[in-house]
């Protein structure tokens, strides 16, 4: 795209101008939805040489290109591939680097479906998995075996919010032919750049902040030059592609990502600080707070905060939790996050930890801070906690 040749553009400028070329679209500002299976070729020579930008719907359209170009530029990778969900981005990334007989190391804070994929499908394909303390840092060197080929990180983990020390982990496995994959859904490329810190592959649940409006499923994979051929190959062999309509929604969401993240970031920190001051709150799991054990890594590696964090209350019967959650007026009860609207979810760690025991039995509650009036959100949580306390 013509605008991609300028250097040192601000992230906000990349988000608003990359991945679209009105000159190629009759002046239309946003790249329209290209619904396509067949793409016609003018002659046999072109068909055989693939000497035109697009060949077949699954292999890419201007709609998919419009998102790939933005993400690749933001993450600083060799290229990006799109998938129909965040989970398929994780599975495709893992399959692009793992073969039968290999071992995968997974951060114990990783998102539950990642664990299920490892223990179910990957195990069946002959890949073994071990989990490690998210705070292991350079200590990962002691876990590396001769078959270790990949390390899966999620920083922060999206339930308990420990940070992985990517530079330390990357330095510790240097020279071992191990690929480091990072789920960067929380920080987004706006605030966190895993490839620059030593990772090889970055995945996103674009479903969350990129789409930003809770109305599409989407995933992206971006990698360095060395990993690109295998990623292209695996993504193609698995037959993955994202729907042009969802590409359009992701591209549209990205245009306002910087603005939305700035609001989400400020509000989630403000809410976390307020919660930290309440007697009944046992801990606030938010890496932007100075009280968080990984705050030093946060200030070193992140330039802003995600919308999502957890806090905990003293363990109480389920009816206390129901009293709180069922009557929330603004926080919706539901999976996912990253939309304009606030969400609340109880966290159950029993199916989510294996190498490290969580140090207490408090009731963890995860919240996504949306774009409603901040005082309205604060009052909603305050009333919810009062209901919890009344039944506890």
Phi and psi (nearest 5°) for 262?
Answer: -60, -45
Is 165 considered catalytic here?
no
DSSP letter assigned to residue 138: G
Cβ at position 54, least distance to ligand PLP in Å: 25
CB nearer to ligand PLP: pick between 57 and 187: 187
Q: Which residue number, 204 or 267, has a Cβ lying nearer to ligand PLP?
A: 204
Q: How far is the CB of 303 from ligand PLP (least distance, A)?
A: 19
Q: Which of 20, 65, 208, 255 is catalytic?
A: 208
CA 364 to chain centre: 21
Nearest approach, Cβ of 347 to ligand PLP (angstroms)?
13
Pairing of strands 219-223, 201-205: antiparallel
The distance of closest approach from Cβ of residue 53 to ligand PLP in the complex, given in angstroms and rounded to an integer, is: 28
User: Residue 16 or residue 307: which is nearer to ligand PLP going by CB?
Assistant: 307
- Shortest Cβ distance from residue 387 to ligand PLP (Å)? 27
Report the nearest approach of ligand PLP to the CB of residue 280 (Å). Answer: 27
* Angle of helix 62-75 versus helix 244-255 axis, rounded to 10: 40
Q: Kindly name the residue from 6, 35, 56, 58 that is annotated as catalytic.
A: 58
- The CB-of-246 to ligand PLP minimum distance in angstroms stands at 10
CB of 194 to ligand PLP, least distance (A): 13
For the four alpha carbons of 363, 378, 340 and 181, in that order, the dihedral sign comes to negative
Q: Which of 21, 69, 183, 224 is catalytic?
A: 183
Annotation marks residue 183 as catalytic: yes
Question: 125 by DSSP, 3-state: which?
Answer: coil
Look at phi and psi of residue 137 and say left if phi exceeds 0, alpha if psi is from -120 to 50, else beta.
Answer: left
User: Of the two residues 111 and 331, which places its CB atom closer to ligand PLP in the complex?
Assistant: 111
> Quick one: 154 or 283, whose CB is closer to ligand PLP?
154
DSSP output for 329-368 = SSSEE-S---SSS-EEEEE-GGGT-SSS--S---EEEEEE
The sheet with strand 343-347 has its strands ordered as 283-285, 308-313, 363-368, 343-347, 332-333
Nearest to 72 by CA among 296, 225, 237: 225
Beta pairing partners, 148: 103
Nearest to 92 by CA among 281, 294, 275, 227: 227
Chain residue at closest Cβ approach to ligand PLP = 86
Nearer to ligand PLP among residue 298 and residue 388 (C-beta): 298
Long-range pairs for 98-101: beta carbons < 8 A, 24 or more residues apart:
98/122, 98/125, 98/127, 98/149, 98/150, 99/126, 99/127, 99/149, 100/125, 100/126, 100/127, 101/126, 101/127, 101/147
Query: Which one of 21, 34, 102, 111 is the catalytic residue?
Result: 111
* CA atoms of 32 and 29, how far apart (whole Å): 9
What one-character-per-residue DSSP string does 215-229 give?
----EEEEE-GGGHH
Nearer to ligand PLP, 117 or 284 (CB): 117
Q: Is residue 245 among the annotated active site residues?
A: no
Residue 14 pairs in a beta bridge with: none
Tokens of 307: 């919308």
58 is catalytic: yes
Closer residue to ligand PLP, CB minimum distance, 89 or 143 = 89
User: Contact residues for ligand PLP (CB under 6 A)?
Assistant: 85-87, 111, 154, 158, 183, 185, 205, 207-208, 217, 219, 336
- Quickly tell me which residue has 């013509």 as its tokens: 2
The residues annotated as belonging to the active site are: 58, 111, 183, 208
């Amino acid at each position: 795209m013509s605008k991609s040749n300028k250097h040192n553009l601000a992230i906000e400028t990349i988000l608003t101008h990359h991945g679209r070329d009105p000159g190629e679209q009759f002046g239309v500002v946003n790249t329209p939805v290209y619904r396509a299976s067949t793409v016609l070729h003018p002659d046999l020579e072109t068909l055989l040489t693939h000497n035109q930008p697009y060949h077949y719907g699954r292999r890419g359209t201007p709609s998919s290109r419009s998102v790939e170009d933005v993400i690749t530029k933001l993450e600083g990778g060799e290229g990006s591939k799109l998938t129909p969900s965040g989970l398929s981005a994780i599975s495709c990334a893992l399959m692009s680097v793992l073969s039968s007989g290999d071992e995968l190391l997974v951060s114990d804070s990783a998102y539950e479906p990642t664990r299920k994929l490892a223990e179910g499908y990957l195990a069946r394909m002959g890949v073994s998995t071990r989990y490690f303390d998210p705070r292991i840092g350079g200590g990962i060197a002691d876990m590396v075996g001769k078959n270790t080929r990949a390390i899966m990180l999620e920083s922060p983990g999206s339930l308990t919010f420990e940070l992985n020390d990517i530079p330390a982990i990357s330095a510790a496995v240097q020279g071992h032919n191990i690929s480091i994959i990072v789920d960067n859904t929380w920080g987004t490329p706006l605030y966190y750049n895993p490839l620059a810190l030593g990772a090889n592959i970055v995945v996103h649940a674009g479903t969350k902040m990129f789409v930003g409006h809770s109305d599409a499923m989407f995933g992206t994979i971006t990698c360095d030059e060395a990993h690109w051929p295998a990623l292209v190959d695996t993504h193609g062999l698995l037959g993955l592609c994202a729907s042009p309509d969802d590409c359009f929604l992701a591209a549209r969401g990205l245009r306002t990502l910087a603005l939305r993240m700035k609001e989400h970031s400020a509000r989630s920190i403000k809410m976390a600080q307020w919660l930290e001051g309440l007697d009944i709150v046992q801990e606030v799991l938010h890496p932007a707070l100075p009280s968080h054990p990984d705050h030093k890594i946060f200030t070193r590696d992140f330039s802003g905060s995600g919308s999502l964090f957890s806090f905990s209350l003293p363990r109480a019967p389920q009816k206390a939790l129901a009293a709180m959650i069922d009557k929330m007026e603004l926080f919706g009860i539901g999976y996912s996050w990253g939309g304009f609207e606030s969400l609340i979810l109880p966290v159950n760690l029993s199916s989510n930890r294996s190498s490290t025991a969580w140090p207490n039995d408090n009731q963890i509650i995860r919240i996504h801070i949306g774009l409603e009036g901040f005082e309205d959100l604060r009052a909603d949580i305050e009333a919810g906690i009062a209901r919890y306390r009344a039944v506890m």
